[in-house]
Amino acid sequence: MLDDRERRTLIRLGLAAVLALIVLIVLFARVRGGLLKERADSFRLNETAQRTVQARDKAKAEWARWEDAGRDLAELRTSFFYEEGAGFQALRQDLERLFAQAGTSITDLDYGYSDMEKEQVRKTLITFTYSGTYAGLKKLLAVLESFPKFLVIEKLEFPRTGSGGERLNAKLTVAGYYGI
């Protein structure tokens, strides 16, 4: 029903349609592949961004902890350490006050000094002998423990334990700290 010319035109149109369909399929496959690649890249970038945000938040929290530690250290140096400029008189006065609060009198105080350069602290060791009752020693230790400055009991020895009605003797070494 169609003449040769119409058939050739239809075949050409059919070939052009098949060719256009092939080109469309190839382009679709490439675009789809590119979209999948872009989607994978986007997902990877999103994960990287989330890890970066988590690392930033972790670093901020770490920085805040360091700032808190710096404030704590400054408070320790001002409130709990003795000032180096005040000399050792402040420590001696505090010890006299502590002994008075504990109700004991200690006369034979021996002082030793050392620098702890790494910690930027100067340490003063005070050695004395307590002679009295167990209750008195307990009260002295409680007063030392509750004192607001750093006075640390470094050593406690009992030359005489107070058995058999004797008085208890204890040799204590206490450390006081000065910020450098």
Looking at every residue in the chain, the average pLDDT score rounds to 86
The answer as to CATH 3.60.110.10 being correct for domain 82-179 is: no
How far is residue 170's CA from residue 161's CA, in Å, rounded to a whole number? Answer: 8
Q: Give residue-wise pLDDT tens across range 58-80.
A: 999 999 999 999 888 788 777 77
Q: Give residue-wise pLDDT tens across range 158-169.
A: 877 766 667 788
Q: DSSP per residue over the chain, as a string?
A: ---HHHHHHHHHHHHHHHHHHHHHHHHHHHHHHHHHHHHHHHHHHHHHHHHHHHHHHHHHHHHHHHHHHHHHHHHIIIIISEEGGGTTHHHHHHHHHHHHHHT------EEEEEEETTTTEEEEEEEEEEEE-HHHHHHHHHHHHH-SS-EEEEEEEEEE--GGGPPEEEEEEEEEEEE-
Interior/surface letters 69-88, b for 16+ CB within 10 angstroms, e for the rest: eeeeeeeebeeebbeeeeeb
User: Going by C-beta distance under 8 Å and a sequence separation of 6 or more, which residues neighbour residue 102?
Assistant: 136, 139, 140, 142, 143
**How high is the pLDDT of residue 96?**
87
How far is residue 49's CA from residue 59's CA, in Å, rounded to a whole number? Answer: 15
**How high is the pLDDT of residue 165?**
64
Q: Give residue-wise pLDDT tens across range 19-56.
A: 999 999 998 988 888 888 888 999 999 999 999 999 99
Residue 180 has pLDDT above 60, yes or no: no
**How high is the pLDDT of residue 20?**
95
Average pLDDT over residues 96-117: 83
Q: Which sequence spans correspond to the domains of the chain?
A: 1-80, 82-179
Residue type, 113: Y
Q: Give residue-wise pLDDT tens across range 128-153.
A: 988 888 888 899 999 988 888 878 88
Residue 8 has pLDDT above 60, yes or no: yes
The structure's pTM equals: 0.56
**How high is the pLDDT of residue 53?**
96
Residue 118 has pLDDT above 80, yes or no: no
**How high is the pLDDT of residue 106?**
79
